[in-house]
Amino acid sequence: GAGVSQSPSNKVTEKGKDVELRCDPISGHTALYWYRQSLGQGLEFLIYFQGNSAPDKSGLPSDRFSAERTGGSVSTLTIQRTQQEDSAVYLCASSSDRGSHGYTFGSGTRLTVV
């Protein structure tokens, strides 16, 4: 597609449930980021995939959070046993050829844990 696609756009889940958030990067982009943004706050780095290298997971806030990227394309962010503080907008971004055109962000998934 023309841009980074994220699904679902909105997700409401009950506390304690697991959720999966999906990111479809721009075709051919080798680098992919996940960020989250709580209401009124800045962007918090979560995880970074670059080609076939081991991902940089240093931003994941707890072991309830995990992410994978299959075939160097689609990525899934999984949150287990969701908590209310997980409520935020989760943003995905991708880039090609050394980031020379910057990273393109998706519109995000708004997660609400009730």
Size of interface with another protein, in residues (CB under 8 A): 22
| 3-class secondary structure, 85 | helix
Smallest distance, Å, CB 54 to another protein? 14
Q: How wide is the angle at C-alpha 41 spanned by C-alphas 3 and 65, nearest 5°?
A: 70
Q: Which is nearer to another protein, 48 or 65 (CB)?
A: 48
Among 91, 94, 111, 113, binds another protein (CB under 8 A): 91
Q: How wide is the angle at C-alpha 2 spanned by C-alphas 35 and 78, nearest 5°?
A: 30
Smallest distance, Å, CB 48 to another protein? 6
Q: Which two tokens stand for residue 98?
A: 């050394």
Which residues from 1-20 bind another protein, rule CB under 8 A? none
Is residue 25 close enough to count as binding another protein by CB under 8 A?
Answer: no
Distance of CA 114 to the CA centre of its chain: 20
